[in-house]
Every structure is written in structure tokens, then in C-alpha cells.
């Protein structure tokens, strides 16, 4: 296809190139998964939901695995990646983006501390039990402090809870803030809405819970252990609740845009009907929200038939993580497919092999799963899942 | 000498003060950038405040401005990137139904071709576009490292040695005035030919315009031509409602122009 076929109407001459590629779609997607997984673990750590306990530590490891790659798409996309660190040294504080380094680092510290406190007992036991380099590794992880008396563990738990209480607003901030990066751009009518941070946050929670469900089912299947259905159904229930909040906000945005019908409505209509019709109505709304919503209602009203319900929850979760990816795509790419002249549209064509192409995106998306496998090898969270089953 | 001092300042501040010194560094960068932009050491940026006027009645769409700009500023001719361009508006009408056709093939550098029969066109005009050097520039606001900044004389510039290439400013500009410089890996844009205006010359586009559709001058100088036009004409700016406060003022701006 030539550039001519990709352009409709009039676009400003400099707009022919789409600036933010698939990597910038991944950025809010990954931070969303982080925030969602963390908030899922907080359901136990902060709100004391015992039924979530079996996956609470696993959720923290999941959050960390994804958090560790969250900066990768951003840095890869920079025109001068080596200067990226300047955002930490000389942040320009009027920029919504300038806070990223600090918010990210703060949150990373919270997640690391939370994991350390949650796993400290296991780490110390391993440090005392094992030999050789493993002993050294666990001793280092224990920071050479081996007090696991009941009192010490109790203090750990209290501190972990306090941290999680700070963690929730941090997670909300980390991701709501990503929404603001888009929502605060008055130049782009598809992005500019105060609802953006909260829409991002809700979809983040939804995607994080769905991911956790999928990882939980997969891990149990790989390890040939039975699922704890109380936990699974409880997660499904929360998924359903957050889906409702998510869809209400997403629709509210579209409905008010249509109802107010400002000058940009013509180009927004064209965006929705021509450019992102499939990914918006098809994937984001129908597949990502409507079908899981119905399936999860069925799960909640059906009695027994655990295997079928598990299958329905798994399908819902797969649809949700795909749907949320589509939502990120529709915002990031969709917003760049309309010209700021409000008179034309462009088309983003992903390239496979390039610095900002599909290949690096795939690598970045696969990496957290490998990191998670390593993390669960060092810090196995499985005993919670099994202990509750008897 | 400049570079060494700047690098030293940057490095020193980083080590000693770290992030807390952010603002100070940005300021030192901004000063450095301005000095680099002008080779005229006698130029005092506190004495000027630049403004730009486009008279759309006069533009004939010859494209010499856009061509001159690319030549003067070494903007690649083989890439779709432009510091200035000319839009052509042609309005046709059937009954009460108006159709507006806008185009700017290769920014107007090669001129425009007729592809609508003249008798069908009810109204037609050209609109030259350029960075508005806004007084409330969203591009400067969103730059996460302060690599883009406004000089004391009101010109929005990019520090190519500091820009990280995140392209947030390109997203933030409502006018499509910014582009990505592939060679440098940074954002890039019109400088109002800062290297020329600080020596008392006109921007290349203004110099090249054969009909006087583009005017450039000092808003601080009561007697300047731009001030006289601003006093006399009814003027408008692009996307006034966005509150960006452009300093490119238009005479005869049609409602169809965004």
C-alpha cells in the first residue's frame, strides 16, 4: 500500500507518520496489568478477603514480573534511548510524563518491600536449610536477618498491610497517571477527557484480575494441582464487578461525546465507524466486556459443574485481556489516526522488524512470563494455594 | 567552550544535586541553546519579542516559502516533514450543501494542480501555516525533560542535544507544526529562522514570499510593520479556543481553517 491509500481527507503534512507505535500501546497495557495484579493481591492484604489469600503472593510476583518490563517499551521507543534517564535527573515538572520515573521507582520499592515481607519467612527458612550458592542467595535475600519468631512475623504482617495500604493509591496513581498522559492532551479530541485516568484504572484492574485468573489456572494445570474454587469464583466475582464500572465509564465517555456533538464529532464518528470499528465495537466492547459479563453472570448463577464454570471463567479472562489490549490500542493508535485538522484520517501499519515494530513488542510481552517463572522458582508461592485445599 | 561548560555544569549538578536541581539545569540548557542559535553576540533577546503575520488574502500558493524553508534549514526534501506549508481550501456548493476540499501536496512546494473544474468552485484561498510560537505552548508544557523551551524573545526552540525523542510534544501540538527528526532522533520544528532573526535578517519564508503574505517583526517595536497591521486589521489566530495564545496572527482567516 502506498501512503496515499492510508490517508483519507486532509491531514497536516507532518502527520503522515504515526509517532507512537505498538510499543506505546504496550506501555499502558503492561502498567495496567501491574496495577490490576497488585490491587487483586490487596483484596487479601488490605481488605482481608481470605478467599483471595491463596493467590495473594502469586499476584505480587505477577505484578513485579510485569513491572520490571514496564519501562522497556518506553525506552525502546525513544529517539535517544540513552538520554531517557534525564527524565529522572531533570524532570520538567509541568509535563505529565516527567513524573514517570519517580512514580515508577516509588511503586517498584513498594512492590519489592511487600514481596520481601510476604516471603521473608520462606526466605529465612531456605537460608538456614540450604547449602552452597543457594544458601548465599537466600541469605542475601534475607538481608542476613534471620529472625522469624512469631513476634517478628507478626510485625512483618502488620508492616505489609500498611505498605499495601500505601500501595493501593500508588497503584492507582501509577496507572491513573498513565491515563492522564493521554487525557491531558487538549490537541487530541479523542484523548482529551478528564475521565481518561479513571477509565484506565478500571480497565487496569479488570485486566490484572483476568491475567491473575489465567495464570492461576495455568499454574495449577502445569503443576497438576487442583484449583481452589472458592478463590477462583471469588476472583471471577471481582472481575465482574470491575467490568461493570469499566464499561459504564467507557460508554459514558462515548455517549457524552456524541451527545454534546462538538466540532470534532464528525471525525470521531469516522474514527469509530471506519478506522477502529472492529477493534472498538467488536473486540473492546463485545469480546472484551459484553461476552465476559454474560458468561460471568452465568457462572454466578450456575450450581456445581465446577469444570464448566472454570472453562467459562478462563474464556472470559482470555477475552478480557484481549479486550483491554484492544482498548489501549483504540486509544493510543486510534487517537493518532485522526488528524488534528479534524478533516482527515491516517492509518497505522505495524512493521514487524524495526525498533518500534511488532518483534520488540512480542519480546517485551513474553519477557514478564519468563521473569515470573524465575521469580516463582526463587520464591515459590504455591504452598498458599495448596494449604487451603484440604 | 560552550559545550564543555554546559557538559560540566550538567555533570556537576547531577552528581551534587541530582533531581532536585532539575529546574536550574533546564534554565542553563535554555540559555545555552539560545546562545548556540545565534552567532551574534551583540544580540540581546530581552530587547525583542517576535510576532508573525499571515495575510491569507495575499497568498498565491506558489510554495516558495516552503521550499526556501527546507533549503535554509536543511529539512530533508525526501521525507514528509515540514516546518511550514501552504494549505489550499476549495469550497464547492450544491444547494445548501457545502463541500470543503483541503489539500497541501508536498506542503505546496511544487505548487498546486487543478483537479476540480474551476466553474464548480464557489470560493478558494490559500492558508500558509507555520509554528505559532504560542505564548502558552502545549509542546513546552508536555516536554518531560525541558528540552523544548521558549526564549526570552518569544521563540519556541528545541535543544537537540537534550531532547530524548519521546515525541510527546508532537502529540501535544494542536497545529501539526512539529515533526520527528530521524537523523537526530529528536523532535524538530520551525525556529522562525532564529539564526537569521538574531542577525537582523528575516525568516527565510518571509524573505522568499513574493507577495508579502508573510510578515515578521518585533512586537516590542511600536513602529514595526507587524504592530501596524495588528492595530489596523481584524485578526484571528488558529484554534483560539485551545488557549495556546499563538503569535502567528492571521488576516482574513476563514472559519473552515483549523
Quick: pLDDT tens for B73-92. Answer: 999 999 999 999 999 999 99
- Residue B6 confidence (pLDDT): 56
- Residue A331 confidence (pLDDT): 97
Domain count, chain A: 1
| Burial (CB count <10 Å: 0-12, 13-18, 19+), residue A82 | exposed
Residue B237 near residue B226 (C-beta atoms within 8 A): no
Cross-strand bridge partners of residue A3: none
Contact list, A186 vs chain B (CB under 8 Å)? 138, 174, 242-243
SS3 of residue A338 by DSSP: strand
Contact list, A78 vs chain B (CB under 8 Å)? 164-166, 185
C-alpha cell at B133: 510560537
Residues 36-65 of B with CB under 8 A from A: none
R_g of chain A computed on alpha carbons: 22
Beta-carbon separation of A343 and B100 below 8 A? yes
Residue A234 near residue A249 (C-beta atoms within 8 A): no
Pick the closest to residue B131 from B217, B198, B193 (CA basis): B193
- Residue A181 confidence (pLDDT): 95
- Residue A151 confidence (pLDDT): 94
- Domain assignment present for residue A390? The answer is no
- Residue B1 confidence (pLDDT): 41
| Mean pLDDT for the stretch of residues B186-198 | 97
- Residue A20 confidence (pLDDT): 96
The CATH number of B38-258 is 3.30.70.20
Pairing of strands B84-94, B248-251: unpaired
- Residue B38 confidence (pLDDT): 59
- Residue A3 confidence (pLDDT): 55
Beta-carbon separation of B104 and A13 below 8 A? yes
Residue B172 near residue B42 (C-beta atoms within 8 A): no
- Residue A51 confidence (pLDDT): 93
ipTM of the complex: 0.93
Q: Give the C-alpha distances (Å, rounded to integers) separating B223 from B42, B155, B227, B228, B231.
A: 22, 20, 7, 7, 11
| CATH, residue A271 | 1.20.1630.10
| Mean pLDDT for the stretch of residues B210-214 | 97
CA A169 to chain centre: 15
Q: Rounded to 5 degrees, what angle do the CA atoms A187, B107, B188 make?
A: 55
Beta-carbon separation of B145 and A185 below 8 A? no
Q: Looking at CA atoms only, how far is residue B44 from chain A in angstroms?
A: 26
Residues 103-162 of A with CB under 8 A from B: none
Beta-carbon separation of B22 and A91 below 8 A? yes
Contact list, B138 vs chain A (CB under 8 Å)? 185-187
Q: Looking at CA atoms only, how far is residue A264 from chain B in angstroms?
A: 11
- Residue B17 confidence (pLDDT): 44
Beta-carbon separation of B143 and A95 below 8 A? yes
Its pTM stands at 0.91
Residue B151's pLDDT band, with cuts at 50, 70 and 90, is very high
Residues 159-218 of A with CB under 8 A from B: 181, 184-188
Beta-carbon separation of A10 and B26 below 8 A? no
pLDDT at B129 over 60: yes
- Residue B19 confidence (pLDDT): 43
Residue B135's pLDDT band, with cuts at 50, 70 and 90, is very high
Q: Is A226 an 8 Å CB contact of chain B?
A: no
* Domain definitions of chain B by residue range: 38-258
B253: left (phi over 0), alpha (psi -120 to 50) or beta: beta
Q: Is A80 an 8 Å CB contact of chain B?
A: yes
Instruction: Walk along chain A (390 residues) in steps of 10 and give the mean pLDDT of each run.
Output: 76 95 96 93 90 95 97 95 93 92 93 94 94 94 92 92 87 88 96 95 96 96 93 96 96 96 96 96 97 97 92 98 98 97 96 92 97 96 70
Non-local (6+) Cβ contacts of A264 within 8 A are: A189, A342
Contact list, A14 vs chain B (CB under 8 Å)? 80-82, 170, 176-179
Beta-carbon separation of B179 and A78 below 8 A? no
- Domain assignment present for residue A235? The answer is yes
- Residue A304 confidence (pLDDT): 83
Q: Which domain holds residue A259?
A: 3-385
Amino acid at each position: 500500500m502506498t501512503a496515499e491509500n492510508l490517508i483519507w481527507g486532509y491531514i497536516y503534512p507532518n502527520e503522515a507518520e504515526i509517532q507512537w507505535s505498538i510499543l506505546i500501546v504496550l506501555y499502558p497495557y503492561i502498567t495496567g496489568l501491574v496495577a490490576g495484579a497488585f490491587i487483586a493481591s490487596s483484596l487479601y492484604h488490605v481488605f482481608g478477603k481470605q478467599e483471595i489469600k491463596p493467590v495473594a503472593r502469586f499476584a505480587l510476583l505477577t505484578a513485579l514480573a510485569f513491572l520490571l518490563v514496564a519501562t522497556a517499551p518506553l525506552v525502546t521507543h525513544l529517539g535517544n534511548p540513552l538520554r531517557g534517564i534525564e527524565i529522572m535527573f531533570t524532570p520538567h515538572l509541568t509535563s505529565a510524563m516527567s513524573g514517570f520515573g519517580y512514580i515508577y521507582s516509588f511503586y517498584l520499592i513498594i512492590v519489592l518491600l511487600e514481596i520481601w515481607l510476604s516471603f521473608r519467612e520462606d526466605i529465612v527458612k531456605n537460608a538456614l536449610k540450604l547449602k552452597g550458592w543457594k544458601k548465599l542467595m537466600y541469605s542475601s535475600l534475607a538481608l542476613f536477618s534471620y529472625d522469624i519468631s512469631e513476634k517478628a512475623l507478626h510485625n512483618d504482617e502488620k508492616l505489609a498491610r500498611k505498605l499495601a495500604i500505601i500501595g493501593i493509591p500508588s497503584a492507582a496513581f501509577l496507572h491513573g497517571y498513565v491515563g492522564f498522559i493521554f487525557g491531558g492532551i487538549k490537541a487530541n479530541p479523542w484523548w482529551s477527557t478528564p475521565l481518561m485516568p479513571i477509565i484506565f484504572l478500571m480497565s487496569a484492574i479488570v485486566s490484572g484480575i483476568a491475567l491473575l485468573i489465567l495464570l492461576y489456572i495455568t499454574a495449577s494445570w502445569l503443576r497438576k494441582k487442583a484449583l481452589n474454587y472458592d478463590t477462583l469464583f471469588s476472583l471471577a466475582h471481582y472481575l465482574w464487578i470491575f467490568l461493570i464500572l469499566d464499561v459504564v465509564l467507557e460508554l459514558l465517555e462515548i455517549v457524552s461525546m456524541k451527545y454534546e456533538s462538538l466540532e470534532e464529532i464528525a471525525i470521531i464518528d469516522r474514527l469509530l465507524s471506519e478506522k477502529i470499528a472492529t477493534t472498538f465495537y467488536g473486540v473492546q466492547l463485545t469480546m472484551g466486556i459484553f461476552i465476559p459479563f454474560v458468561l460471568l453472570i452465568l457462572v454466578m448463577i450456575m450450581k456445581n459443574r465446577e469444570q464448566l464454570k472454570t472453562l467459562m471463567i478462563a474464556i472470559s479472562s482470555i477475552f478480557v485481556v484481549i479486550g483491554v489490549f484492544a482498548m489501549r490500542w483504540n486509544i493510543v493508535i486510534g487517537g493518532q489516526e485522526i488528524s488534528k485538522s479534524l478533516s482527515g484520517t491516517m492509518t497505522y501499519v505495524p512493521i514487524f522488524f524495526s525498533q518500534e515494530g511488532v518483534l520488540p513488542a512480542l519480546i517485551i510481552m513474553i519477557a514478564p512470563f519468563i521473569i515470573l517463572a524465575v521469580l516463582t522458582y526463587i520464591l515459590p508461592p504455591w504452598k498458599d494455594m495448596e494449604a487451603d485445599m484440604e | 567552550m560552550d559545550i564543555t561548560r554546559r557538559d560540566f555544569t550538567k555533570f556537576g549538578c547531577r552528581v551534587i544535586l541530582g533531581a532536585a536541581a532539575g529546574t536550574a539545569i533546564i534554565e542553563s540548557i535554555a540559555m545555552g541553546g539560545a546562545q548556540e542559535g545565534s552567532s551574534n553576540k551583540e544580540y540581546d533577546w530581552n530587547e525583542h519579542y517576535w510576532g508573525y503575520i499571515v495575510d491569507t488574502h495575499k497568498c498565491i500558493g506558489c510554495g516558495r516559502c516552503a521550499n526556501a524553508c527546507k533549503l535554509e534549514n536543511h529539512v530533508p526534501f525526501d521525507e514528509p516533514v515540514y516546518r511550514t506549508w501552504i494549505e489550499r481550501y476549495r469550497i464547492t456548493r450544491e444547494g445548501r450543501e457545502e463541500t470543503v476540499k483541503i489539500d497541501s501536496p508536498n506542503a505546496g512546494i511544487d505548487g498546486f494542480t487543478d483537479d476540480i473544474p474551476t466553474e464548480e468552485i464557489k470560493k478558494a484561498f490559500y492558508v500558509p501555516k507555520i509554528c505559532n510560537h504560542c505564548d502558552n505552548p502545549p509542546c513546552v508544557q508536555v516536554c518531560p525533560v525541558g528540552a523544548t523551551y521558549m526564549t526570552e524573545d518569544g521563540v519556541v526552540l528545541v535543544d537537540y542535544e537534550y531532547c530524548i525523542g519521546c515525541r510527546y510534544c508532537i502529540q501535544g501540538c494542536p497545529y501539526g507544526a512539529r515533526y520527528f527528526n530521524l537523523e537526530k532522533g529528536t523532535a524538530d520544528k520551525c525556529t522562525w529562522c532564529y539564526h537569521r532573526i538574531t542577525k537582523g535578517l528575516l525568516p527565510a519564508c518571509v524573505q522568499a514570499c513574493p507577495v508579502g503574505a508573510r510578515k515578521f517583526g518585533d512586537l516590542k517595536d511600536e513602529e514595526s510593520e507587524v504592530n501596524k497591521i495588528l492595530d489596523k486589521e481584524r485578526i484571528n489566530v488558529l484554534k483560539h479556543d485551545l488557549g495556546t495564545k499563538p503569535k502567528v496572527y492571521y488576516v482574513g482567516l476563514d472559519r473552515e481553517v483549523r
